[in-house]
Structure formats: structure tokens, C-alpha cells
Amino acid sequence: MPRLGVNIDHVATLRQARGEFYPRLDHAARICLENGCDQITIHLREDRRHIQDQDVFDVKKITDQFNKPLNLEMGCAEDILDIAKEARPSWVCLVPEKREEKTTEGGLNLLDKSQYDKVKKTCDALKSSIDGVKISLFLEANEKINDMAIQMGSSIDAVEVHTGDYAKAYLENNDWNSYLTQFENTYNKLKSKGIHVHAGHGLTFESTGPLVEQALFEEYNIGHWIISQSVFEGLDKVVRQMVSLIKR
């Protein structure tokens, strides 16, 4: 059964916009978990534009209460690594990070040797300091990059495939079907090597449908659309809708 991780970064975006104590992240995490999501995902960015250091610990308390994973997205910066070691999330998703980007714009470029080495070093540091931590790498569905992920061996547990370009093509009614073939190839290759395959970025209720129908992923991490839609419908209802789509 595929899993839904709700990314609650943009609850923090609203809070940070006014420098208030609301809306509370722990409250958002609780509502998502009470309404059937499988994990909470947050991205502690180097510029702290939404999630703050204390949020990682506050949200971890809630995921622990529900006995569900916290999935911490992060770049390979030393200070973030130190916070991860202290907060001990169940999953870490390593992502590339540029300060000037509006959001994560693509996967890690493992074809670049210095990036590959940095990612590998971060994976090994996480694995040796957090008992049982699982690691995913945020990557494009690209054959050469998949090969580099496979080379990482036991340093990683999963690949989270960047679905942003697919989701944009879907929204704009461009040729989104070709992405499904890439996703299927990636799924088959990685699974044959024992690597789990997750999806994330830019997904909406509509664009998630074809991925679920073709059983292309084991986990979906979805944030911006869920938080945006909850302005109109409420977070509890939107999470329930997404859970029923993913688990139908």
C-alpha cells in the first residue's frame, strides 16, 4: 500500500510571514496524522525561510506520539547535519539546495564527483550517528543518475524521484505521459537493486492520480498543494482526500 507523507513547510511559511507563533506546526502535524497520513515531512533549509530549528524537535515529538516517521529533508550543510543528529528523524531525504531558488528545483547531480562524494559522506555520517535512520536521495528519473544511486550501496535506502517537471506538464496539459515511462524504468531498475522508490514535488490531487493508477511509487511526499487547498477545505479534509486517492 503506497504511503502519503505530508510536507508541512508552508504552514511555517505562513507563520514566518508575520513572525507570529501561529499557525502551529505541531498542530498541523497532529491533524495530518489523525487523518491518516503516514509520515510528516519537513525541509530545514539553510536560510531557515520556513522551518526553524525548534520545529524539527516539536514535530518529532508529535510523530513519536503517533509512532510514525518524521522525514527530514536537508542539504548537506554541517550545521543542518548536527541538528539531524540531535533530532534523530526516522528518514532523511537529501536534496540539493540553492539559496536563490523558490523551492527545490531538481534532483542531486550525482554525476558530479564532488557532489557524489559530499552526499556519500553525509549519508555515512547520518547512518553512523542515528541508529536505524533511513536515507533517500532526491533525484531525477534519469538512467545515469540511477546508476550512481545504485553505486551508493547500503549508504541509501530509497530514491525520491523529482516529479516537479511531470506535475507542471500535467497542469499545463503538455506531454506528461512520457514522464510515466521514465518513472516506470526508474522504478524497475531501482527496485531490482533493493532500493525503494518515492515521489515528491509539485504534485496535486489531479497529477497524483495517474501515478497511483500505474503503481509507480511506494511513497508520495506532497506539501504545497495540500496546504494551499486546505485554505478552502480544511487540512483534515484535504489530507483524507489525498489518503483515499493514494490508498484506493
The site for ligand PXP (CB under 6 A) is made up of 7, 9, 43, 73, 93, 95, 103-104, 138, 160, 200-203, 221-225
CB of 190 to ligand PXP, least distance (A): 16
Helices (runs of H) and strands (runs of E) counted in the chain: 11, 8
Strands 158-162 and 3-7: unpaired
From residue 65, alpha-carbon distances to 30, 38, 61, 161 in Å are: 9, 13, 6, 29
> How far, in Å, CA of 40 to CA of 37, rounded?
8
Smaller CB separation from ligand PXP, 56 or 65: 56
Question: Is position 201 annotated as part of the catalytic site?
Answer: yes
| Cβ 243 vs Cβ 26: under 8 Å | no
Kindly give the residue spans of alpha helices, DSSP state H, lying in 172-223.
177-192, 205-213
Closest CA to 97 of 108, 111, 85: 108
DSSP state of 189: H
Smaller CB separation from ligand PXP, 81 or 131: 81
Catalytic residue among 10, 162, 198, 201: 201
Cell of 232: 478552502
> How far, in Å, CA of 181 to CA of 163, rounded?
13
For ligand PXP, the nearest residue by Cβ is 200
CB of 136 to ligand PXP, least distance (A): 8
Smaller CB separation from ligand PXP, 35 or 136: 136
CB of 160 to ligand PXP, least distance (A): 5
Question: Is position 10 annotated as part of the catalytic site?
Answer: no
Question: Is position 27 annotated as part of the catalytic site?
Answer: no
Class of residue 1 by CB neighbours under 10 A (exposed 0-12, middle 13-18, buried 19+): exposed
Catalytic residue among 43, 50, 162, 198: 43
Smaller CB separation from ligand PXP, 26 or 160: 160
> How far, in Å, CA of 4 to CA of 12, rounded?
20
CB of 112 to ligand PXP, least distance (A): 18
Smaller CB separation from ligand PXP, 122 or 221: 221
Catalytic residue among 73, 97, 140, 219: 73
CB of 246 to ligand PXP, least distance (A): 13
Strand partners, 135: 92
Active-site residue numbers?
43, 73, 201
